[in-house]
A and B are shown apart, each in its own frame.
Chain A
Amino acid sequence: MTKRLLQGSEAVAEAAIAAGCRFFAGYPMLPFTELLEQMASKLPAAGGVCINAASEIEGINMALGAAATGARAATGSCGQGLALMQEAIAELALNELPLVIFNMARGQQDYFQATRGGGWGDYRTITLAPKDVTEAVDHTQLLFHLADLHRTPVILYGDYVIAHSSVAVDVRPLAFPPTPPKVWALDGSMTGSGRARQIWTWAQGKPNTPGPGPNRAWQTIAEKYDHIAGIEARHEVAHADDADILLVSFGTTGVFVDRVVEELRAEGLRVGAFRPVTLWPFPGAALEAASRGCSHVLVYELNGGQMVDDVRMYAADRSVVRSIGGVSQDGSGMRQGALLDAAVLRRRVLDAVGLTEGAR
């Protein structure tokens, strides 16, 4: 496969189809709209269905239905649209239904929404935050695997850089180990057999096949998420072994951190970088290890301070954790603003550690 210049939304759509996605429903809302456009034009040719839903709530409930038949399905929007989808995301989690949800967000202010969730009950959503289009292509395929493996809704946390920018990318299908057969999938075949199946968050079951009931079902699902937390955390770390200053960021901010770390190390500053790749499960153990011995753990996220809570929870020394990001949107409100800039980050790092430009 040769590299092609693809817009992120097109690359992600091809990756989803390569991963076996055969149902997609969504409602236009920038910067997610382009992914809906790409699915509308590419999915039918791959034998799939793409529906231009009449609302976000309708879209995710269509996808929930498709998932209940065992099909690999997906939906998406930006943070505002995902707010409408929260009830259905909880329902998917407590129905143990797999679904991939693309949040092509309008910035970084949806971290809590993705990691704490706004639905009902004990559930979490595995969330991957790629730092560029190339990583988004791999994450998309990984998410379809994880959703089926753990029977859970999962989220790709993208933004306008992921959705709109074009890069030379090679969307090659990735291989994953097989996932358990979907015996639970509904297709009508068990009707009249006396052992017909039901998918319902109350898990009552039927006369001949009684279910665990809400209490035990929800306990089991809560334990499942604890299990997932232990095995699915992912992160990227650089120069932590000798770092005195650790910069922590997520998503597309990561490429700016990498540039500034490279510059400051060349100037003799012992700086390292830590980037949670899964926002949930948060890579707490890895952060604790990377932050041990650091005199400064600086969190650079473009919101009012959300991931900093998790960093404080796991950092080796909570007292050295500081947020150096902030709310930053451009005029349209559709994308990050002036803080997304290497020169700004560099200045804030130097200020935070009490150094001025050129003082060293």
Chain B
Amino acid sequence: MTTILTRGTVRIDVESCKGCDLCIAACRPGVLHMTTDRFNQRGYRYPELSAGCTGCDACAQVCPDFVFEVWKFEEPVDLPPGLVPDAAVHRTVAAFKDDNH
């Protein structure tokens, strides 16, 4: 079963995304893809993460809506190809505000 060497991951705040696509082109390993037929509460498509992330932080740097939280693994891990399940974070904006005491 082929696996993909993955050195990092991101958590994606789906509800904050306004579907601008900038992270797709910025992602160096090209593991971010916009949904095509699913929308967040505001009616925007949003990015999904596949295996192969390097934790390079490019997506977070270009994102206008602060959608990405970027992590790096101490040791690279092998992941099955395809979507990384726990990447999407369905946080309501209100929940997000609570983080800011």
**Are A and B in direct contact (Cβ within 8 Å)?**
no
**B contact residues vs A (CB 8 Å cutoff):** none
